[in-house]
Amino acid sequence: MVVAPTHLLAALLALGTLVDSSLASAVPDADKLATSSSDSTSLESAFSSLNATVGGRLKSAVPFEAPCFSIVEGQSVQADTAACSAIQASYTDPTFRVTHFGAYMLPQWETCQSSQTTEGCLLDSSNPTNPLAINGVNCQLGNVPPYYIEVNSYKDVQAALAFSNSTGVRLSVKNKGHDYKGRSSGKDTLNLWTTNLRSLSHSATFTPEGCEGKTYDAITTGAGVFTQDVYQFADSVNRTIIAGYHQTIGFSGGYFLGGGHSILSPVYGLAADRVVQVKIVTPDGVYRTANECQNTDLFFALRGGGGSAFGVVIESTHRVEPLFPIQAAVLKFTPSASTDLAAWYSLMVDNSYKWANEGWGGHIVGPTLIHVTPLLSTEEARASMQPAVDFVTAHNGTVTIEELPSYLAFFTKYVTSAQAAVGPEIELGTRLIPSKFFSTAEGRSQLSALINDTLSFASPYIVAGTPWLFNATAGATAVTPAWRDAIWHLSVRAELFQYNDTLAERVAKYQGLSEHIQKFRDLTPGSGAYFNEGDVYEPDHETAYWGDNYAKLLAVKQKYDPQGLLDCWQCVGWKGESDDLYQCHVKL
């Protein structure tokens, strides 16, 4: 058949047939999507067939914030005051945003950032009731996929792949929308929303399929399970699972595919280290099981190879640990002198090598530290943290060092109030900082000096979440080997994007971020970055994210996706920024 240009997919929305995502699916009006009557008939038939195959779960998206606007896709509409008030009240609440397909945790990816003005439908994240963001503004779908399937099983994914292969309509994959790089949105794409795949089970003697004689204490999760839910489930069966630092991250999706750091990683490894089996629909439409005994090349790629390049994950199984008590150190002060923050970061640099060897993992954000270790007693933890305690006490800060009965107890008490913000338009650049910058006087001096230089731009966000003490099997995972010699995963945050930024302002902010993280790249040649949180415009991204593993990963990609049916920004085998799939990414 003659394939209609995919950029016409959004025409349905622009021409006034908006359908709320909570309603029954809307089969597209092919007259508005095709350039000829034959195209129209073929595409309408294809959409109708797809909708029937997936049980009526083919939906049309609307902008998350649309109820607040009286102009939507150029059409005058009646604003919904009650719905708008609910959105405004919970605009930065992750548990609210995650229930709406059109909402992304980093809302700039809801917009077409490459347009001269903000082509999207954003509120002012600093004041969601600000009328300047709403009055007289044309609310547009922007970079949100106009159509999506609420995935209930692997068969839905197979149907979507077949549809894409026959029509040319591009695909994107979304789990929870925690995405710093725009991989889970996409103008004019059909999206696979895996959020409802939430099965959970535990087996103390899990045997990967085809691996007779091998057993693991493991938890199996559907792709859409929330991180907080998997922590609670593990605790209920007296186990500890290694997962992320946010309630609503999709545990069994992009998190482990990109590597997946945790503040327990110094002792127990990355999430990618702990996967023992993945069930996935590969781009050729086959539902496969990948583990150490079958599809081993795919299993390697899925453990850190990143994004949806290798298929759509349906479920994964992860090794767990027994329930154990944990020491938590929570320190905070308010800087009073211009030199306080630099002195604090210098103290962090001076002590982090020792702390890493004692199993401490955690976050350092400006004048705060939250760390945990499963290896020390409370008395040992206090002695270990004494230099930081002395500093914070001298600056009239607060100090808590305590034992908690489980990681869930720590997560519930501290993380839900300290997790990364959602709603504001945030962008990061990251670098893995090798051990020599903590174990040698010269290295410490160099790193502290660069951090001091960076403070005028931003306070680096430090994750002590590298697998420093973990005894990894060489070559088992796809992440860059730089993870294994790093003590810190350091990130620098760009100046916040605003709802009404111009293209020139967006370009300047991306460039400013890249310039500052480049200084850390120059300091650490041969190291790398974290795929899930790297600079959108990471140079030489193949080496930064995967090191010497990239050639092997590319071969796996070409084996399972020879037509390049699945693609995402800077993923393995991506087609490049000139591809129409990335029409809404700013081009620097």
The whole-number average pLDDT for the span 146-159 is 98
Strands 428-434 and 486-493: antiparallel
Q: Is residue 584 part of a domain?
A: no
H or E segment to which residue 222 belongs: strand 216-222
CATH code for the domain in which residue 535 is found: 3.40.462.20
> For the segment 362-386, what is each residue's pLDDT rounded down to a tens digit?
999 999 999 999 999 999 999 999 9
Residue 90 gets the label, from left (phi > 0), alpha (psi -120 to 50) or beta, of alpha
Residue 301 gets the label, from left (phi > 0), alpha (psi -120 to 50) or beta, of alpha
Both 231 and 361 in one domain: the answer is no
Joined together, the tokens standing for residue 141 give 């779908």
Listed range (11-20, 31-40, 152-161, 309-318) with the worst mean pLDDT:
11-20
Both 379 and 522 in one domain: the answer is yes
Number of H helices, E strands in the chain: 20, 20
Cα–Cα distance for residue pair 385/299, rounded to 1 Å = 39
Q: Is residue 579 part of a domain?
A: no
Domain endpoint, select from 193, 210, 236: 193
Both 354 and 497 in one domain: the answer is yes
CATH code for the domain in which residue 297 is found: 3.30.465.10
Both 286 and 363 in one domain: the answer is no
Cα–Cα distance for residue pair 463/364, rounded to 1 Å = 7
Cα–Cα distance for residue pair 431/72, rounded to 1 Å = 40
The whole-number average pLDDT for the span 291-299 is 98
Strands 428-434 and 461-464: unpaired
Domain endpoint, select from 307, 323, 339: 323
Q: Is residue 116 part of a domain?
A: yes
Cα–Cα distance for residue pair 363/264, rounded to 1 Å = 11
Specify the pLDDT at position 2.
Answer: 29
Q: Is residue 563 part of a domain?
A: no
Q: How many domains does the chain have?
A: 3
Q: At what angle do helices 441-454 and 340-357 cross, to 10 degrees?
A: 140
Specify the pLDDT at position 47.
Answer: 84
Q: Is residue 569 part of a domain?
A: no
Domain endpoint, select from 193, 220, 235: 193
Both 357 and 317 in one domain: the answer is no
Range of the domain at 96: 6-193
The whole-number average pLDDT for the span 42-69 is 93
Q: Is residue 585 part of a domain?
A: no
Joined together, the tokens standing for residue 19 give 């359908």
Both 511 and 394 in one domain: the answer is yes
Q: Is the pLDDT at 114 greater than 70, yes or no?
A: yes
Q: Is residue 175 part of a domain?
A: yes
Both 162 and 28 in one domain: the answer is yes
* b/e code 457-493 from CB counts within 10 Å (16+ = b): bbbbbbbbbbbbbbebeeeebbbbbbbbebbbbbbbb
Q: Is the pLDDT at 81 greater than 80, yes or no?
A: yes
Both 166 and 314 in one domain: the answer is no
Specify the pLDDT at position 570.
Answer: 97
For the CA atoms of 550, 556, 558, 564, the dihedral, rounded to the nearest 10 degrees, stands at -90
Contact of 220 with 203, CB cutoff 8 Å: yes
Both 269 and 147 in one domain: the answer is no
Q: Which residue has the tokens 């500052």?
A: 516
Strands 171-174 and 75-76: unpaired
Listed range (2-16, 284-298, 385-399, 569-583) with the worst mean pLDDT:
2-16
Both 366 and 407 in one domain: the answer is yes
Cα–Cα distance for residue pair 221/453, rounded to 1 Å = 44
Q: Is residue 566 part of a domain?
A: no
SS3 content of the chain, % helix, strand, coil (to 5): 35, 20, 45
**Residue 38's pLDDT band (cuts 50, 70, 90):** low
What is the average pLDDT value for the chain, to the nearest integer? 92
Specify the pLDDT at position 234.
Answer: 98
**Residue 220's pLDDT band (cuts 50, 70, 90):** very high
Cα–Cα distance for residue pair 452/7, rounded to 1 Å = 47
